[in-house]
Amino acid sequence: MRISRLLVIIAVGIFLLGIPYFVTSSYVMHIIIFSGIYIIFALSYDIVVGYLGMLSLGHPAFYGVGGYTSVLLVMKLDVPYVIALPIAGILALIVALIVGFPALRLSYHSFAIVTLAFTLIMRAVWINWVSLTNGPMGIPGVPRPTIDIPFLGAVHIETLTDYYYLILILVIITCLFIYFMIHSRVGRALLSIRENEVLAETLGVNAFKYRMIAFAIGAFFAGLAGSFTAHYITFMGPEFTDFYYITMLLIMVILGGSGTIHGVIIGAIAFTFIPEYLRITPEFRDVIYGFVLVMTIIFMPEGIGGKINEIIYKRRVRTG
């Protein structure tokens, strides 16, 4: 079993590394890069929704915080992108701690309302703080990343292939971090809180502490996604905090299967490509999204990832 799993990992690795060589369409490559962005964004959201079991409506705000932080550091303070990227995630994490300290003490419904209010407030800040953010016009001309690598010098990220490999590295880091977190003491605590908070606290689990950890980590990776997006599209604006992102993230997580890394990845990829084929009927897009969401909840409540886990479990039982 371990050998077959290793072979699968090697095959997937070769496939991912080779994508730029057999995908000749720049448009398809652009969508693949955005799917990588949304994988990070959706996985960061799933930490709160899937593993903690709380509905947060503040994730677009952390996405925007990361984007604005990175852009302002690079453009106004001439900070190297390799430093601005983690700082963007860290500042989003700090903001999450500030917001989460009072919000995570509230009930689940009140928490959702507070995080929604936070997103609306941040959007108002981006629009009205014209001297810093250029208001509703946004910040155009965001420089493309330049990464200094020891012994290799400066690497300029300019082509779609460059961006693909950069987002691939960030996706792998995100997946590995979340995987090891889930299988650690923190992950077990989060799952126990999600299943039965009262019982978890009677066993010595500090629910508030682990909620704060999950909320902050989710914000950190959302900030990284926002930073990469801004430097990829070379623009940063209030649109990064659109409520559209909440709808999109919920569909990716619920359809993919909340609490499953592979399921969320599938959901993120699917709902990056599918909307591109629905552009001919944008007026029906939200209707289709809602229909898919309802059908998923009714007929496949555990999502694609849950269904895959079920198939794998049944296969192991038959062969075991």
Regarding whether 197 and 223 lie in a shared domain, the answer is yes
- Helix, strand and coil in the chain, % to nearest 5: 80, 5, 20
Regarding whether 163 and 290 lie in a shared domain, the answer is no
Regarding whether 194 and 116 lie in a shared domain, the answer is yes
Regarding whether 227 and 80 lie in a shared domain, the answer is yes
Which of 226, 242, 258 lies at the terminal end of a domain, its last residue?
A: 242
Give Cα separations from 11 to 6, 57, 192 (angstroms).
9, 37, 35
112, amino acid identity: A
Record the tokens describing residue 293, joined without a space: 């969401």
Which of 215, 242, 269 lies at the terminal end of a domain, its last residue?
A: 242
pLDDT at site 148: 77
- The total of structural domains in the chain comes to 2
User: What is the pTM assigned to this prediction?
Assistant: 0.92
Regarding whether 311 and 189 lie in a shared domain, the answer is no
Regarding whether 311 and 203 lie in a shared domain, the answer is no
Regarding whether 235 and 302 lie in a shared domain, the answer is no
Regarding whether 315 and 192 lie in a shared domain, the answer is no
Which residues contact residue 244 at a Cβ distance below 8 angstroms, ignoring those fewer than 6 apart?
Answer: none
Which pLDDT tens digit goes with each residue over 181-215?
998 998 898 888 888 888 888 888 888 999 999 99
Largest CA distance in the chain: 65
Record the tokens describing residue 114, joined without a space: 């507070």
Rounded CA separation 230/66 (Å) = 9
Which of 199, 223, 242 lies at the terminal end of a domain, its last residue?
A: 242
Please tell me what DSSP assigns to residue 240. G
Instruction: Give the distance, in angstroms, between the CA of residue 41 and the centroid of all CA atoms in the same chain.
Output: 1
Low-confidence ranges of the chain (pLDDT < 50): none
Regarding whether 234 and 256 lie in a shared domain, the answer is no
Regarding whether 144 and 276 lie in a shared domain, the answer is no
Which residues contact residue 144 at a Cβ distance below 8 angstroms, ignoring those fewer than 6 apart?
Answer: 156, 157, 158, 231, 234
What's the domain range around 254? 244-320
pLDDT at site 172: 95
Regarding whether 116 and 173 lie in a shared domain, the answer is yes
pLDDT at site 317: 67
Rounded CA separation 263/253 (Å) = 8
Regarding whether 316 and 227 lie in a shared domain, the answer is no
Please tell me what DSSP assigns to residue 49. I
